Amino acid sequence: MTVLRGIGAIVLCFVVVSALSFGVDGILHATGVFPPWGQPMAGHLFTLALAYRIVFDTFGTWIVGVWISGAIGFAFSLFGIIATMQRGSQLGPLWYPIALTASVPLTTWVGGRLGIRRSPSPG
């Protein structure tokens, strides 16, 4: 049952973080903060996106809590770097997925600490 709970936590984390990220992206595109979909963004806008994604990643790892390692988030971030390298500047500057990958240990630690703090004590 622990494995299923861990898998469920990963899936929930992925869904929640993706929904929050794409939702805020959509709002920022619709309100004109970000350019229309398909048009290139300026570098400072990627900094804004990185900032709210770090918050969402921390929330996602809080969902997972202490059940699983941050290695999964790190692996997903590495896939982002590879995809960006293959697609070039079409997906934005290379520093952006690298910064997301570099933030994984911190967001995982913070999320895990929050999860430990909120978990009921055994016994």
Radius of gyration of the chain (CA): 16
Residues in the chain: 123
Question: Which of 35, 46, 26, 52 shows the shortest CA–CA distance to 92?
Answer: 46
**pLDDT given for residue 91 in this prediction:** 65
Q: What are the domain boundaries of the chain? A: 2-118
**pLDDT given for residue 73 in this prediction:** 61
pLDDT < 50 positions in the chain: 1, 66
**pLDDT given for residue 28 in this prediction:** 95
